[in-house]
DNA sequence: GCTTGATATGAACGCCCGTTCATATAGCAT
DNA sequence: ATGCTATATGAACGGGCGTTCATATCAAGC
């Protein structure tokens, strides 16, 4: 049977995407079979190939659209003029985005090694572009004299790791909690890059 | 043929361990087959079962001995009396250990989801024990009034993530470089937990 | 020198994998 | 009503998986 009521391309495709996203995030790319994904959607394994070339293409689409969404979301952020304000915006943006889409984020840095070399190159470029945003903000702050770090590159990596780490332990618990989370992290970041004691 | 010259239990077993460690770290537990591990050692797949009950037991041993080694290595560190000095010691210890044994560390936090529930519980307990070390040091520093953080638990998680993140980008490049790495990271940590500007 | 036990083989087991394809159905255009 | 096309099935493909086991070989103990 085909074309059941309400089963069009626009419905099944995203359902496959969502199922793959959740399963890959939970069990890892290599540990999830096409049949498991299909079962989650309520379809046979062969149907997946109507929408994705193969398993690798499915993973790549998840990671690629995630990186595009992430970069686009940052572009949409309205930034203050001052360097420190921009770093504050980045910190809060990064945490908010990572808390909102934990599965995408998790896959994006966990399954890099599951990509074919060509696909890896594409994702890696976008990943570096994102890191570059923070790195440039730090450089700008340094030029303005408002921040003071020993090594911009190392600070960038340290901050990214620290902020992304939220993903490993924090789970959404209401809007207020996330607001506090962002505030606390910005407090730590600000100290790290300015050395200034921030008022309680 | 069996018992080739120089092929005893004391030789083959660790060779299997080492091969599994490297392959799991590189490709992930689920993506590596027993035959691949055996081939790396120059043995047939069946031989692995003379030393390990199954694939899961092999992974568990890697993770369990890693956690034991990590905790034991920390116990062996001679600590200063002051809280800040202890936090400095922890920071340098953590980085040094992670830089020295990147594969063990990588597996230990990457393959938690590949463990059976019972094995996971064991590793998780040890992982929490390790985090607890840092958490207690922060609490002690707070009691002494030498450190000032808004939330000890969140600071602990942020620091662990930041320090462990070294593993994702740093590759051994001589002893001096690592010394500098430790110094820079301690500089960032100290600022984060004291808010003090450290002299260049 | 013979026996014994540790060490390894390699074939085999049943199972699941990613992927393909002939076939069938369901909704749309005519 | 009829044909067309998008959508899905389900069986099949070759292959690799984790694991077991009868068998063989080697080193050491008597």
CATH number at residue A4: 1.10.10.60
Q: What average pLDDT score do residues A174-189 get?
A: 91
HEC string of A76-104 equals CCCCCCCHHHHHHHHHHHHHHHHHHCHHH
Domain annotation covers residue B91: yes
Is residue B78 located within the same domain as residue B39? no
Residue B33 CB neighbour total at 10 angstroms: 13
Asked if residue A164 has pLDDT above 50, the reply is yes
Q: Residues A23, A36: contact at Cβ < 8 Å?
A: yes
Domain annotation covers residue A199: no
Of B30, B128, B153, B162, which to mutate for an interface test with A (greatest number of A Cβ within 10 Å)? B162
Is residue B35 located within the same domain as residue B118? no
Higher pLDDT: A126 or A1? It is A126
Q: Residues B47, B5: contact at Cβ < 8 Å?
A: no
Q: Which nucleotides of strand D come closer than 7 angstroms to any CB of the protein?
A: 6-12, 16-22, 24-27
State whether the beta carbon of A10 lies below 7 angstroms from any atom of strand C: no
Residue A26's domain spans which residues? 1-53
Is residue A18 located within the same domain as residue A85? no
pLDDT reported for residue B2: 45
Binning pLDDT at 50, 70 and 90, where does residue A174 land?
Answer: low
Q: What average pLDDT score do residues A144-172 get?
A: 96
pLDDT reported for residue A2: 45
State whether the beta carbon of A176 lies below 7 angstroms from any atom of strand C: no
This prediction has a pTM of 0.94
Nearest-CA distance B9 → chain A (Å): 31
Higher pLDDT: A74 or B9? It is A74
Measured CA to CA in angstroms, residue B90 lies from A131, B124, B152, B200 at distances of 27, 20, 16, 21
Gyration radius (Cα) of chain B, Å: 20
Binning pLDDT at 50, 70 and 90, where does residue A197 land?
Answer: low
Kindly report the average pLDDT of chain A as a whole number.
93
Q: Which of B19, B36, B53 is the last residue of a domain?
A: B53
d(CA A127, CA A104): 13
Is residue B145 located within the same domain as residue B98? yes
Query: Measured between beta carbons, which residues in chain A are less than 8 angstroms from residue B166?
Result: 157, 161
| CATH number of the domain encompassing residue A60 | 1.10.357.10
State whether the beta carbon of B5 lies below 7 angstroms from any atom of strand C: no
CA nearest to B113 within chain A: A27
Is residue A118 located within the same domain as residue A73? yes
Q: What average pLDDT score do residues A164-185 get?
A: 90
Q: Residues A169, A176: contact at Cβ < 8 Å?
A: no
Q: What average pLDDT score do residues A18-42 get?
A: 98
pLDDT reported for residue A172: 84
Candidates B31, B114, B195; nearest CB to A191: B195
The parts of chain B modelled with pLDDT lower than 50 are 1-5, 198-200
Say yes or no for a CB contact (<8 Å) between B192 and A196: no
């Amino acid at each position: 049977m085909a074309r059941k009521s309400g089963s069009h391309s626009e419905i099944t495709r995203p359902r496959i995407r969502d199922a793959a996203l959740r399963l890959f995030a939970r069990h890892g790319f290599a540990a999830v079979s096409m049949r498991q994904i299909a079962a989650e959607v309520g379809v046979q394994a062969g149907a997946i190939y109507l929408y994705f070339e193969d398993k690798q293409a499915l993973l790549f689409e998840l990671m690629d659209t995630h990186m595009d969404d992430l970069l686009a979301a940052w572009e949409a952020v309205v930034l203050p003029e001052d360097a420190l304000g921009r770093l504050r915006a980045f910190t809060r943006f990064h945490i908010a985005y990572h808390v909102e889409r934990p599965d995408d984020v998790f896959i994006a840095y966990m399954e890099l090694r599951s990509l074919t070399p060509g696909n890896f190159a594409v994702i890696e470029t976008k990943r570096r572009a994102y890191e570059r945003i923070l790195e440039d903000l730090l450089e700008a702050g340094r030029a303005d004299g408002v921040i003071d770090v020993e090594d911009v590159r190392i600070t960038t990596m340290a901050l990214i790791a620290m902020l992304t780490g939220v993903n490993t332990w924090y789970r959404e618990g209401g809007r207020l909690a996330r607001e506090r989370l962002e505030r606390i992290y910005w407090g730590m970041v600000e100290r790290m890059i300015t050395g200034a004691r921030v008022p309680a």
